[in-house]
Amino acid sequence: MIKRLGAEFIGTFWLVLGGCGSAVLAANFGGDGNPLGIGFLGVALAFGLTVLTGAYALGHISGGHFNPAVSFGLWAGGRFPARDLLPYIIAQVLGGLFAGFILWQIASGTATFAVDPNSAGAFASNGYGSHSPGGYSIAAAFLCEIVMTAMFLVVILGATHPRAPAGFGPLAIGLALTLIHLISIPVTNTSVNPARSTGVAVFAGATAMSQLWLFWVAPIAGGLLGGVIYRWLGDDDRR
């Protein structure tokens, strides 16, 4: 278990550092219109690549969840024991927080770095209303996070099923997360992962922290929904 939790800590750390790091350090590098900035597309790809590489590197140790919503969804889908939920979630949140701390230390290395806690997407945080990149309402944000996380779980459960093509699971999962970000960055800055949201919210200020509840409740609800849906579709490989 210690090694499994260590893998979840490292994998979540890599996801938050890689995904949120690309948003904070590289998305708008040099200012608006600079060709070196990677933009929404680059950030979406970065999140997908973190899951893809992390799953290939660590999935055989812990299952490669790196996300409390995924752990809940796998439990709902009959693939993960309830007794392991709490330790996994603790390891994931700690990994996300450590990544947020490291990212803050790196970003602070330039004199121009500053975080406006009232701006949308401050320090790659998630939000709704005035804290949404596109100004989307709380209802739109809630629905988006539930649906995106549910579909993420459907892909995860399907891609890792014993009858799925062997060895391609992490690729499908990484591409699914990329697609999810392409759809939902304008809405919530894309969470679908409470550990990812928590890891940067504590450094982003009061607004991000006050809205953090939604990025626990909605992704976990979506994860449970996705797990139940896939189980109903006929996942008979339960343990």
Rounded CA gap, 172 and 131, in Å?
Answer: 31
In a domain, 114, yes or no: no
Give φ, ψ of 93 to 5 degrees.
-65, -40
Whether residue 164 has pLDDT greater than 90: no
In a domain, 96, yes or no: yes
pLDDT at 235: 55
pLDDT for 49-80, tens place per residue?
Answer: 999 999 999 999 999 999 999 999 999 999 99
Residue 71's closest CA among 59, 89, 53? 89
pLDDT at 8: 98
Instruction: Label residue 134 by pLDDT band (50, 70, 90).
Output: very high
Give φ, ψ of 197 to 5 degrees.
-65, -45
In a domain, 238, yes or no: no
Stated pTM of the model: 0.92
Rounded CA gap, 96 and 102, in Å?
Answer: 10
Residue whose pair of structure tokens reads 């990212």 in the numeric block: 103
- Residue 150 sits in a domain whose CATH number is 1.20.1080.10
Would you say 125 and 100 are in contact if contact means Cβ atoms under 8 Å apart? no
Instruction: Label residue 37 by pLDDT band (50, 70, 90).
Output: confident
Would you say 50 and 14 are in contact if contact means Cβ atoms under 8 Å apart? yes
Element holding 167 (H helix, E strand): none
Instruction: Label residue 120 by pLDDT band (50, 70, 90).
Output: confident
Whether residue 17 has pLDDT greater than 60: yes
Whether residue 12 has pLDDT greater than 70: yes
Instruction: Label residue 239 by pLDDT band (50, 70, 90).
Output: very low
Give φ, ψ of 80 to 5 degrees.
-150, 135
Rounded mean pLDDT, 29-41: 76
User: Domain total for the chain?
Assistant: 1
In a domain, 37, yes or no: yes
Rounded CA gap, 67 and 74, in Å?
Answer: 11
In a domain, 64, yes or no: yes
Listed in sequence order, the DSSP H helices in 22-137 are 39-62, 68-76, 85-107
Average pLDDT, rounded, for the chain: 93
Rounded CA gap, 179 and 104, in Å?
Answer: 27
pLDDT at 218: 98
Least confident of 14-23, 30-39, 55-64, 153-162: 30-39
Domain, as residue range, for 64:
2-109+120-233
In a domain, 42, yes or no: yes
- What does the block give as tokens for 96? 């996300």
- What does the block give as tokens for 19? 């995904």
In a domain, 115, yes or no: no
